Structure 1
Amino acid sequence: MDRLAEYRYESAAEAAAIRTSLRETVAMAGLSGERCDDVALMASELMANTLRHTDTPQPRLTLDRTGEQLRVTVTDRDCSHPAPLPQDPSRSGGNGLRIIDVLADRWGTRHHDGLGKSVWFTIALPAWAAPPAQRPRGARSEERGAPKRIDRTLATD
């Protein structure tokens, strides 16, 4: 696993700056257009959740490349289990995990023995963006559309 970026934040303004930086880093890793926006949006939702629902000083966001995918993880000191809220069209907000469930290839949580939790999601990279040793034979240097989403189950790490 290659660490591409690591951030700590304490405010919505810092989270917004991270979103911009993260989008640029994700683009350099091989995603483009809408998928870059998807990663930035999902990361923003996770950062907003930690700011809104925990008392964690300086939660941490990491971006890692694991073979053919990018993994974003947000870690805080709160031990509660996050769960998507039921859909309510009259409510503004409260849809972050539902958005992640739709846009991410996989997502889940990991608890750290009373020391907090991490919420993570993964997004597949296009075949041409994989490290050379892991590229499928004949992979070209252009994106061929968004990956198909098959797994929509809650995955835990």
Structure 2
Amino acid sequence: MKYLRVLAVLAFLVIVQTTLLPRLFPWLPLAPAFLYLVVLSFRLPRNFLLTAGLWSGLVQDILVGEVFGLTMFTNYIAMAVVWEFKDDLLDNAVVTCGVRVVIATLVQEFLTAFVYYIYSAGSGHISNTLQISAGLNLLSNLLLYALFMLWLRLRGSEKVSAFLEARS
């Protein structure tokens, strides 16, 4: 019951991500649910973070009509890798979260490109597609992260550190 609100927010963000944002910004693949998962990696225990990654991937796979569960798979692996990136490696929580966004985005893009490469039986050139797709997704996720940090900063400077430093 404690984490039900988090799952509801994730489901709402996935719905917005798959329905509204492609209409408003068709050239930019914004992923607020994925960014929210990365930010939650500071606050949630590992088992629930992985469950939340699976949940958001399941909702997105159902909405998009993906039968292979690719988003569930990539979200789960990306959150497992992000969780292993230590909080105390860098002194600044904002920079640590930004590095986690980069790591999670690249892991997700590499896994997606690899699965599509295997699915096409190795007939295509993976490097060109991966460079464009990963660069665009990384740029959009970092832009969304910068806007989120700016929004937290406008609410108050203590809100940023309090939001990122809290652990359940």
Which structure shows the higher strand fraction?
Answer: 1
Which structure shows the higher helix fraction?
Answer: 2
Larger relative contact order (CA 8 Å, sep ≥ 6)? 2
Shorter-chain TM-score bucket reads 0.3 to 0.5
TM-score computed with the length of structure 2 as normaliser: 0.36
TM-score computed with the length of structure 1 as normaliser: 0.38
